[in-house]
Structure 1
Amino acid sequence: MANRRPSERRGSSRRSSTAQFESRRPSIDPSRLVPMDKVSHIGGSDDFNVVFVGAGNIMFGSDEGPWNHSFRFEHKLGPRLKVVALIDPAIERATAVLQKKCDSFVVSAYQGTRVFKTLDDFVRNMNPRDKPRAIIVGTPPMYRGSLKPGRDLELQILQHFPGVAMFIEKPIATGPEDEIHEGFKIAKMISDSHTVCSVGYMLRYLKAVQMMKQIIDENNLTVMSTIARYACAYESIAKPDWWDKSKSAGPVIEQGTHFCDLSRYFGGEVDIDSVHAHSLEWDENAGRLSKIAVDESKIAPENRIPRVTSAVWKYDNGAVGNFTHIVALQGHNYSCEFEVYADGYSLKLVNPYVQPVLYVRKPGDDNETTIRFADDDPFFSEVSNLIDVIEDIEEDPEASQILSSYEDAVRTYELTWAIRKATERSRVARLKTIPEAVTE
């Protein structure tokens, strides 16, 4: 037992036979990540049936961010795209967004779309010709990632549509910590069924990120440290559930998950037992915010989110990871940076969500090289690669790859939960030493 890796000593029973991930994860030649406006839609004359599960912002866009999966599918598939069903319990919302599509130039993709409240409703009323080739899941994470009825969307898809490709938004769940093992079971079911499945960690598809991977691989580097910082503009977050840990699971699990995932993408597997973290909470003097867009007094004190979370851990190869999530900025723009260090090299990614900039320092030069990526669209790249894998159109198997499998996404979810639990443990320990701690 002593010769086994730290992550294996934690309990290998929950890890599948394919779980020996290394830091050299699947990557794509950055030159192949072409902007959406430089790509023609995929060829062919047969219809490509798709089911959209969820009629919210992630699927159809909003003013709050660049997400809009339907737009990317329309561009990738062109007239081949046929959205056979839109599934959302909010029928009026689904009908409204569908009408907008039918009133636009992409009407051919939506003129036959039917709206259903549940996946079961669609299955009961599905015509054989409407069998989907891909099911795109953009529902809130509380409805998936579990084996419990009502929160087992992946299992429903596997049961009703065996072999049909899936795209699942991140995080894979926001359920209680003791259900993480259910996520690993779902991952094994997906893997065992040979179902194509991609999870929406789109930052892996950034051209800058793939250039970082290319530098590491070409120079045979071993990552020594990853440092991630995510500072959100809390003033523009008006969704009450986001501020309630009982609903969103907290900002690290719901929002910071992207940077925890990037950390694992470069650093490799995390020794979960090594995770230590501290938080600045809402009831501490430094945690009082002046421009919260919701009435936080309506949220139970124990469910209010931390203002700062800072975590450190060891990777299985000995490298060190660090992540800080901050709820402090006002206005609209976030401030996010991600750094990777290896012998002689520093790679720093700045502003990955909007206008990514990569700063590279190499041996023999104390100055950094600045590389800007003004026209990159990782949302399109993840959709494009998923469809290419489904279509199996590339002769080169390295050309199109899914960079985040379901099992990989569960491991990121596990890390974010470990960070939250570590902050809760450190808070309890600190309060024991400060009986006069400030309360509301």
Structure 2
Amino acid sequence: MSSSRPSSRRGSIDPARLQPMHKVHQLSGVGDFNVVFVGAGNIMFGSDEGPWNHSFRFEHKLGPRLKVVAIVDPAVERARAVLGEKCETFVRSAYEHTQVFRTLDELVQNMTPNMAPRAFVIGSPPMFRGTTQSGRDIELQILKNFPGVALFIEKPVATGPKEELAQAFKVAEEIKRNGAICSVGYMLRYLRAVQMMKQIIADNNLTVMATVARYAAAYEAIAKLDWWDKSKSAGPIIEQGTHFCDLSRYFGGDVDISTVVAHSLEWDEEAGKLSKQKIDEGKIALENRVSRVTSATWKYRSGAVGTFTHLTALQGHDYSCELEVYADGYQLKLVNPYVAPVLYVRRPGSDHEEAHQFSDDDPFFSEVSVLVDNIEDIEEDPETAQILSNFEDAVKTYELTWAIREAAERSRAARK
């Protein structure tokens, strides 16, 4: 499917069609499916820190058809190490001929016809992509050298300075002009619970009145110093809260950015002192330390109202996250979407909340599955789901998170 022409596909997915990996038959296509991985880190190959592992999902979606023809990563030894591990498992056939390159230019110079990729999976750090600047323009370089080849890009699309936001929109324009299929990794959109919420809204012809999102991080488990440094990570709203800002937009629509207002609790305020940090915050410049709480409100262009609160407050390991969506007579409340999603539904005519639990759900697999189906589905079968997050839409989420951070910083400056 080319993003430059209209599609008959739905902008949501029947939740019944979203199945866990072990219940999904491998794609019935034929021939090798060549993929290039950009980045050999945790997002691509997994770690003990979370459920992300794109290689694992591609292996299960494509089975023996998967051929990872190249990995692009300046950390060559790390890339070769993960390849060695993969070649000792049942997926050896996908990796036994994989080549490692430090840069995309090296890949282009050594590309042979039998290596021609069907898709690029981009999991490099966001500060190195999403712009029009040389060395941070991996998307544009792929479009130039591999026109029409599909892209899967991790979120957020970038984490550079606010002044570079316009460049991200230019990248979105180029992807659209190129016609390449593009999916951005806002996997929570692919949750069965989220799609059930969409289904309820559509089936009852509802108009969303408000979204209320909350994301409380367990900071004791965050031992990466860069996460606590806004100059490195861009701060928790942009780097972490992005998923819930995106989900809010998924239900509320486009945001009137001029209406964003926010307040924050900072590290140097009495209520902002934390007792169980695993890092030495003294190594971070005062102006770059992250907020403990950020609370924002805004208006959607539809007239609806959105709110989001991010907290760096909990200890232990588990986060606490919720999203509420309100429409006339309806309350849809999504709880614990990362681990064990539960959807509570209150409908007109009753004060009772229905509880819907979703076991064995894997939105990471679902987003990969939908991407591959779109790449393979030449005939535009309307039963094939539409990709739920393209690059332009993801940049709008990035724009909202920057607006929230800036609004909170203006509020802090005004208090001094």
> TM-score, normalization: structure 2?
0.97
Deviation per CA, 1:257-294: give whole Å up to 9, x if none: 00000000000110000000000001111111111111
The residue number in structure 2 matching 1:272 is 257
Task: Give 3-state SS (helix, strand or coil) of 2:258's partner.
Answer: helix
Matched with 1:323 is: 308
CA shift digits 1:212-268 (9 cap, x unpaired): 000000100000000000001111111111111001100000000000000000001
Q: Find the counterpart in structure 1 of residue 104 from structure 2.
A: 119
Opposite residue 196 of structure 2, the aligned amino acid is M
TM superposition shift of 1:398: 4.7
Equivalent position of 1:110 in the other structure: 95
Secondary structure of the 2:83 match is: helix
Q: Does 1:80 align with 2:93?
A: no
SS of 2:410's partner is: helix
Alignment partner, residue 53 of structure 1: 38
User: Displacement, 1:399?
Assistant: 2.8
Unaligned runs of 5+ in 1: 1-17, 19-24, 432-440
Pair 1:186 & 2:158 matched: no
**1:32-62 CA-partner distances (Å, limit 9, x unpaired):** 1011110121123300000001111110011
Partner of 1:154: 139
Q: Which of 201, 215, 228 is the equivalent residue of 2:213?
A: 228
Runs of 4+ in 1 over 4 A off after TM superposition: none
Cα contact 2:373–2:384 (8 A) shared by 1:
no
Contact kept, 8 Å, 1:394 with 1:400, in 2: the verdict is no
8 A Cα contact 1:225 1:267, kept in partner:
yes
Question: Counterparts of 1:413 and 1:81 in 2: how far apart (Å)?
Answer: 32
Q: Distance in 2 between matches of 1:215 and 1:341?
A: 12
2:394 corresponding residue in structure 1: 409
Give the aligned residue type for 1:76: K
Per the alignment, residue 385 of structure 1 pairs with 370
- Paired with 2:30 and 2:381, the residues of 1 have a C-alpha distance of 23
C-alpha distance in 1 between matches for 2:105 and 2:178:
21
The aligned residue for residue 346 of structure 2 is 361
Worse overlay, 39-48 or 207-216? 39-48
Which residue of 2 is the match for residue 247 of structure 1? 232
**Partner Cα separation in structure 2 for residue 399 and residue 358 of structure 1:** 25
Aligned match of 1:144 in 129, 133, 154?
A: 129
Matched position secondary structure for 1:225: strand
Cα-to-partner distance string for 1:287-340 (whole Å, 9 max, x where unaligned):
111111111111100000000000000001111000000001111100000000
Which has the higher mean CA deviation after the structures are superposed, 343-352 or 42-51?
A: 42-51
Find the aligned partners of 1:101 and 1:312 in 2 and give their Cα distance. 46
Aligned partners of 1:236 and 1:332 also within 8 Å: yes
Partner of 2:120: 135
Q: Percent identity among equivalent residues?
A: 73
Answer with 205-214 or 396-405: which moved more: 396-405
Answer whether contact 2:139 2:171 (CA < 8 A) is retained.
yes
Contact 2:148–2:179 (Cα < 8 Å) also in 1: yes
| Paired letter, 1:154 | E
The alignment yields a C-alpha RMSD, in angstroms, of: 1.1
Q: What residue number does 2:22 align with?
A: 37
Deviations 1:404-439 (A, max 9, x none): 0100000000000000000000001111xxxxxxxx
CA distance in 1, matches of 2:180, 2:238: 26
- Structure 1 CA distance for aligned equivalents of residues 29 and 251 of structure 2: 37
1:105-145: CA deviation from partner (whole Å, max 9, x where unpaired): 00000000011111111111111110100000000000111
**Structure 1 residue 101 and structure 2 residue 97: aligned?**
no
Aligned to 2:204: 219
Contact 2:29 2:376 in 1 (8 A): no
**What residue is the counterpart of 2:7 in the other structure?**
none
> Does 2:55 align with 1:70?
yes
Contact kept in structure 1, 2:374 and 2:384, CA below 8 Å: no
Paired residue secondary structure (2:267): coil
Pairing partner for 2:287 from 296, 299, 302: 302
**Correspondences of 1:1-40 after superposition (within 5 Å):** 26-40=11-25
Task: Check whether the contact 2:223–2:278 (CA below 8 A) recurs between aligned residues.
Answer: yes
Count of matched residue positions in the alignment of Structure 1 and Structure 2: 408
1:428 maps onto 2:390 in alignment = no
Contact 1:48 1:133 in 2 (8 A): yes
Measure, in 2, the Cα distance between the counterparts of 1:326 and 1:164.
39
Tell me if structure 2 keeps the 8 A contact 1:276–1:419.
yes
Q: Which amino acid in 2 is paired with 1:42?
A: L
Distance 1:158 1:428, change over 3 A: same
Give yes or no for the alignment of 1:372 onto 2:360.
no
State whether residues 388 and 394 of structure 1, in contact with CA within 8 Å, keep that contact through their aligned partners in structure 2.
no
How far does the alpha carbon of each residue in 1:196-219 deviate from its partner, in whole angstroms, 9 at most, with x for none? 000000000000000000000010
